[in-house]
Amino acid sequence: MRYADIDPALFVNNRARLMEILPQDAVAVVNANDVMPISADGTFPFVQNPDLFYLTGIDQEETVLVLCPGAREARLREMLFLRKTDDKIALWEGQRLTREDGRRVSGIRTVHWTTEFEGLFRQLAVASGAICLNSNEHLRAASPVQTRDMRFVNWCREKFPLHRYERLAPLMQQLRVVKTSEEVALIREACRITGEAFRRLLGFVRPGVWEYEIEAEMLHAFVRNRSRRPAFACIVASGPNSCVLHYVRNDRQCRDGELVLMDFGAEYANYAGDLTRTIPVGGRFTPRQRQVYEAVLRVYRGAMAMLVPGTVLDDYQKTVGRLMEKELIDLGLLDARAVKEQDSEAPLYKQYFPHGTSHHLGLDVHDVGDRHRPLEAGMVLSCEPGIYIPEESIGIRIETDVLVTDQGPEDLMADVPVEPDHIESLMNA
C-alpha cells in the first residue's frame, strides 16, 4: 500500500470494543467489498469495505472476518480469511497477503484461506444462537448493486433458516462515529494532503484554465503524497457551475471575473479529507463577490464555534439557519418582514443555502453517525456553509474539517488559506 504501515493495535482495539457489545451467543461476519467490473475484463480500482478495514486493516479483496465472542476455543473467537495466493497470482496481479501478513497487519492470530471458510463458519454457527450480519444502513445510501455482504445474508438465511439474525450496522455506527487518536492522525494526514493541493492551486488558477486542468493539479498533489485517490469525486465549478451543488463534469473553461468553487479531498489509508474553497479566477474578488464571501465566512466561523460536546446537529442546523438569514437580509437577497412571517418548516434561507452545514467524516466522506446523538469529543465533522445566487453566477462555499474536543472545536485545516485578502495575496504573489 502507498500509505505507511498502521500499528495493528488500532484494529485490535476496535475489535475488542465491538466484541464487548456483540450478543455473546452470536457469530458475526464482515465481508470485503467486491472488485467492481467495468466491461470486458476491466475493473474499477478496488476500494475496501470501511467496516472490514476498521476491524482488520486489511485492504485486499475476498477477505472475511469472523468474530464469535462466546466460542469455547480462544482460537475461534477471531478468525480472518484471505484469498489464497500463489505464484500465478503474484505474476499477473502482484503479491497478495500471506497468512503471516494477515496476522501482522490485523493482529489476528487465526488466519485461514477462504477455501476453509464454510466448514469453520458452520462449526461456529451451529454452536451459536444468533448470526450477526453486516449491511449498508447509511441514511443516504442507495444500493442498486448487491454487495458481497448482502449476498452473504441471503446465503446464510438459506443455510441456517432457524437462527436468530441480528444487525451489525448499528453497533458499527456506534463505534465508528467517535474516532480514536490513531484514526484522527490518519484524518490529519488526509487533511494535510488536501491543504497542500489547495495551496498548489492558488498558484495555478488563472483566466483561460479549464476545470479539468485544475482537477489534474489536485490529483497530482494527492498521488505524490501517497494518497491513492480522491475521497470523493472532485468538484471544480466555475462561473454558473458554482451554483450546482454536486457538479462533477469539470469541463468548462474558467473566465476572468468569475469564481471557481472547488470541493475536494484526499483519501489517506481509506480516511477522508474534505475541503471547499472558492477563489476568484482572475486573482481578485469583485466587490459583490467579496461581500458574499465575507457573509459566508461569518456563518462559517459561527457554525464552527458550535461544534462542541453536547450539540445536536438538528438544533445546530436551525441555529446556523438563523445566522444565514441575517446575512441574506444584509445582502439584499431576503426581505426581513418575509423572514418573520415564513413557515418554520420551509425557511426562506434555503433558497440560497439549500444543504446542511455539517456531516460526519471518517472512513467515508459522509461517514456514519446519528444526527440525534449529541456530539462527543473524538467526533470529526465538516463545516460547510454556502450561499448560491444563480442569477448572479455567484456560488460560494467554504468548508473545513473539525475535531470535536472537550477544549472546543479544532480546525484540522487551520493552516489552509481562507481569508479573502490571504487568498488574493497568494494568487498574485
pLDDT of residue 312: 98
| From 200, 366, 371, 373, the catalytic residue | 366
- DSSP designation for 46: P
pLDDT tens digits along 291-305:
999 999 999 999 999
Of residues 103, 355, 371, 373, which has the active-site annotation?
355
Confirm if 67 and 21 have CB atoms less than 8 A apart.
Answer: no
The pLDDT value given to residue 93: 87
Catalytic residue among 61, 352, 388, 424: 388
* Kind plus residue range of the DSSP H or E element containing 317: helix 313-330
41 as an active site residue: the answer is: yes
Read off the pTM: 0.96
CB atoms within 10 A of CB 178: 18
DSSP 399: B
User: Is 366 among the residues known to form the active site?
Assistant: yes
Task: Please give the CATH topology (third level) of the domain spanning 181-427.
Answer: Creatine Amidinohydrolase (3.90.230)
Q: Is 312 left (phi over 0), alpha (psi -120 to 50) or beta?
A: beta
Question: Is 51 an annotated catalytic residue?
Answer: no
Active site residue: 246, 249, 288, 322, which one?
246
Q: Which residue in the list 148, 176, 252, 397 is annotated as catalytic?
A: 397
Give the start-to-end residue ranges of the domains of the chain: 9-176, 181-427
pLDDT at 143: 75
Distance CA 13, CA 78 (A): 13
Which residues partner with 393 through β-bridges?
Answer: none
Annotated catalytic residue, options 258, 384, 401, 424: 384
CA angle 142, 228, 135 (to 5 degrees): 30
Is 246 annotated in the active site? Answer: yes
The span from the CA of 75 to the CA of 81, in Å, is 13
Q: Residues 215, 364, 399, 401: which is the catalytic one?
A: 399
Residue 359 falls in the annotated catalytic set:
yes
Is residue 274 annotated as part of the catalytic site, yes or no?
yes
Q: What's the pLDDT score for residue 141?
A: 80
pLDDT of residue 58: 98
Task: Answer yes or no: 372 catalytic.
Answer: no
Catalytic residue among 359, 360, 367, 401: 359
Cell of residue 417, nine digits? 488559506
The DSSP symbol for 374 reads P
Q: Which of 274, 327, 364, 367 is catalytic?
A: 274
Question: What separation in angstroms does the CA of 133 have from each of 5, 64, 68, 311?
Answer: 29, 12, 12, 32
User: Beta strands of 102-227 (E only): which ranges?
Assistant: 110-113, 130-133, 164-167
Per-residue pLDDT of the chain (429 residues; tens, 9 = 90+): 899 999 999 999 999 999 999 999 999 999 999 999 999 999 999 999 999 999 999 999 999 999 999 999 999 999 999 999 888 888 998 889 999 999 999 999 999 999 999 999 999 999 999 999 999 888 788 778 889 999 999 999 999 999 999 999 999 999 999 999 999 999 999 999 999 999 999 999 999 999 999 999 999 999 999 999 999 999 999 999 999 999 999 999 999 999 999 999 999 999 999 999 999 999 999 999 999 999 999 999 999 999 999 999 999 999 999 999 999 999 999 999 999 999 989 999 999 999 999 999 999 999 999 999 999 999 999 999 999 999 999 999 999 999 999 999 999 999 999 999 999 999 999
Residue 345 cell numbers, joined: 418548516
Query: Is 220 assigned a catalytic role?
Result: no
Residue range 9-176 forms a domain whose CATH class is: alpha beta
d(CA 51, CA 57): 10
Distances in whole angstroms, Cα of residue 416 to Cα of each of 87, 295, 297? 47, 19, 14
In this prediction, residue 139 carries a pLDDT of: 78
The three-class DSSP label of residue 280 is: strand
355 belongs to the catalytic site: yes
